[in-house]
């Protein structure tokens, strides 16, 4: 075994032990059995066309949707940076200022000193922006959804849209409740499930992340109000994109129908990291005390909090970003109309293209990558069996020429018999 100690004095005993422990492969029977079990499962996923490969970005070209992957220059249509703010110098400056003042980490859970003045400022800003009484900031959208249902009683029934994000469903399990799914965006079916006893919550996304279609929020809010049930709305893909101030879809409902609980994420249109739960002050105080995903974790880094604050300010001052995004989505939908199958009518930045078989979706995505486009294939379990699709994410940073080029490449790469060679290429500007 070679040592990684290069100084003239060599390594001390503790350094040598650490080096050996880091390099020596696992040899225990338990580790070997685990390794073989995982390999078998990976092989099975690969044979089913479900094995995913992560795009490793070396860097992104500032101010554009271009990404560099192992030296290849690709035009990205996979990012959730819907407003093109991820490289905005004002957000970077806000992060730098927070790093200088607070350091790189919150360094503790929120109840143990990790909550800074910036956290308090952001929670106050979100409370006003989302039209609620109070807000709680968490490190991720997944954690926020897990925490938001911590008030449920054991065995409580939660009615979920069939296409709700996995974190919403797992939150019900974590709270020891039971999930019942209604048909996607079908408020009447949701209402029919209220006949069973024990329903304590209705949960939905406002804008669905794989297809870009909107939930029937007004109808769900009426149903919830009629039964005096709280409605939980996950605004992950609407926040920053839709709403009078980019503050999502729920705020446009009348005050007496507004959802009791709103979850919003910062890692998409707000170009930051983290998330929030907003709702009645008593609920937020309770979750701050008892919700495990909020209590037993290091608070969101102050730099991310500062970026989120600045992003809200920028999108309020620059509504044209949302207008440009809408134009790009409309342009793309018009370019593929009648040629490629939409999964739904898009309301936000995401457009879903139905493929069907997972292997076929992977093949189209690969062919697009060969000619310089990043468009991910979405497969089970993210979507139901037989409904694999391509997920196209448009942003305000895309140009008209880039959107047109993608539409042409998709048509050229879409399987037909025989599959034609594609000459579509990425425009270089």
Quick one: tokens of 230?
């709280």
Quick one: tokens of 11?
């390594």
Residue partners of 311: CB distance under 8 A and separation at least 6: 85, 91, 240, 266, 269, 270, 271, 272
Model pLDDT, residue 47: 80
CA 221/CA 258 separation, integer angstroms: 7
362-384 core/surface letters (b: 16 or more CB in 10 A; e: else): bbbbebbbebbbbbbbbbeebbe
Closest CA to 295 of 303, 285, 305: 285
Model pLDDT, residue 56: 64
Residue partners of 21: CB distance under 8 A and separation at least 6: none
Q: For residue 353, how many other CB atoms are within 10 A of its CB?
A: 20
The distance from CA 268 to its chain's CA centroid, rounded to whole angstroms, is 7
Model pLDDT, residue 230: 98
Long-range contact set of residues 401-407: C-beta below 8 Å, sequence gap at least 24: 401/427, 401/429, 402/65, 402/75, 402/426, 402/427, 403/328, 403/331, 403/332, 403/335, 404/331, 404/335, 405/75, 405/373, 406/75, 406/77, 406/332, 406/373, 406/375, 407/332, 407/335, 407/336
Distances (CA, A) of 395 to 48, 212, 326: 32, 13, 9
Model pLDDT, residue 35: 84
Q: Are 265 and 233 in contact (CB under 8 A)?
A: no
How do beta strands 350-356 and 388-393 pair? Answer: antiparallel
256-289 core/surface letters (b: 16 or more CB in 10 A; e: else): eebbbbbbbbbbbbbbbbbbbbbbeeebbeebbe
Domain boundaries, the chain: 65-80+319-413, 89-317
Model pLDDT, residue 290: 96
Model pLDDT, residue 260: 97
Model pLDDT, residue 424: 41
CATH number of 65-80+319-413: 3.90.1150.10
Element (H, E) at 387: none
Model pLDDT, residue 8: 43
How do beta strands 157-161 and 231-234 pair? Answer: unpaired
Length of the chain: 429
Quick one: tokens of 26?
């696992």
For each of the chain's 429 residues, which pLDDT tens digit applies?
444 444 444 555 555 555 555 666 667 777 788 888 888 888 888 887 777 776 666 666 555 688 887 778 899 999 999 999 999 999 999 999 999 999 999 999 999 999 999 999 999 999 999 999 999 999 999 999 999 999 999 999 999 999 999 999 999 999 999 999 999 999 999 999 999 999 999 999 999 999 999 999 999 999 999 999 999 999 999 999 999 999 999 999 999 999 999 999 999 999 999 999 999 999 999 999 999 999 999 999 999 999 999 999 999 999 999 999 999 999 999 999 999 999 999 999 999 999 999 999 999 999 999 999 999 999 998 888 899 999 999 999 999 999 999 999 999 999 875 433 444 444 544
- State the virtual CA torsion across 25, 31, 33, 35 in degrees, nearest 10: -60
Model pLDDT, residue 3: 43
Number of H-type helices and E-type strands within the chain:
14, 14
For domain 89-317, the question of CATH label 3.40.640.10 is answered with yes
Model pLDDT, residue 11: 53
- Exposure of 228 by Cβ count < 10 A (0-12 exposed, 13-18 middle, 19+ buried)? exposed
- Helix segments in 26-88, DSSP class H: 29-47
Report the DSSP beta bridge partners of residue 74: 67
Model pLDDT, residue 381: 87
Model pLDDT, residue 61: 57
Residue partners of 175: CB distance under 8 A and separation at least 6: 149, 150, 151, 152, 154, 156
HSE-up of residue 71 (Cα within 13 Å, Cβ side): 0
Quick one: tokens of 46?
């690969």
């Amino acid at each position: 075994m070679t040592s990684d100690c290069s100084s003239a004095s060599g390594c001390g005993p503790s350094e040598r032990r650490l080096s050996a422990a880091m390099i020596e492969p696992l040899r225990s029977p338990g580790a070997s059995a685990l390794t073989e079990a995982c390999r078998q499962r990976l092989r099975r996923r690969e044979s089913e066309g479900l094995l995913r490969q992560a795009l490793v970005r070396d860097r992104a070209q500032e101010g554009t949707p271009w990404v560099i992957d192992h030296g290849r220059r690709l035009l990205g249509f996979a990012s959730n940076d819907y407003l093109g703010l991820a490289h905005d110098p004002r957000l970077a400056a806000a992060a730098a200022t927070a790093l200088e003042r607070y350091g790189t980490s919150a360094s503790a859970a929120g109840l143990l000193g990790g909550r800074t003045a910036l956290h308090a400022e952001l929670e106050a800003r979100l409370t006003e922006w989302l039209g609620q009484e109070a807000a709680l900031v968490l490190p991720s959208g997944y954690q926020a959804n897990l925490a938001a249902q911590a008030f449920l009683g054991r065995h409580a029934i939660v009615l979920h849209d069939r296409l709700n994000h996995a974190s919403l469903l797992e939150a019900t399990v974590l709270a020891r409740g039971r999930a019942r799914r209604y048909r996607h965006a079908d408020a009447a079916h949701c209402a029919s499930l209220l006949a069973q006893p024990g329903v304590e919550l209705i949960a939905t996304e406002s804008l669905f992340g794989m297809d870009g279609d909107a939930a029937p929020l007004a109808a769900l809010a009426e149903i919830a109000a009629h039964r005096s049930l709280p409605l939980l709305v996950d605004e992950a893909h609407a926040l920053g994109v839709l709403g009078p101030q980019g503050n999502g879809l729920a705020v446009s409902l009348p005050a007496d129908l507004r959802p009791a609980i709103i979850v919003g994420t910062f890692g998409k249109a707000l170009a930051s990291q983290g998330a929030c739960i907003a709702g009645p002050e008593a609920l937020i105080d309770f979750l701050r005390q008892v919700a495990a995903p909020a209590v037993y974790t290091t608070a969101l880094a102050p730099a991310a909090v500062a970026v989120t604050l600045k992003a809200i300010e920028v999108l309020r001052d620059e509504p044209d970003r949302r207008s440009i995004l809408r134009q790009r989505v409309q342009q793309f939908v018009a370019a593929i109309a009648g040629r490629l199958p939409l999964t739904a009518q898009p309301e936000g930045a995401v457009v879903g293209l139905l493929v069907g078989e997972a292997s076929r979706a992977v093949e189209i995505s690969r062919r697009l990558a060969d000619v310089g486009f990043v468009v991910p294939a979405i497969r089970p379990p993210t979507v139901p069996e037989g409904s694999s699709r391509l997920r196209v994410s448009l942003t305000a940073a895309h140009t008209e020429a880039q959107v047109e080029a993608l539409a042409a490449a998709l048509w050229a790469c879409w399987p037909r018999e025989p599959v034609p060679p594609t000459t579509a290429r990425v425009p270089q500007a």
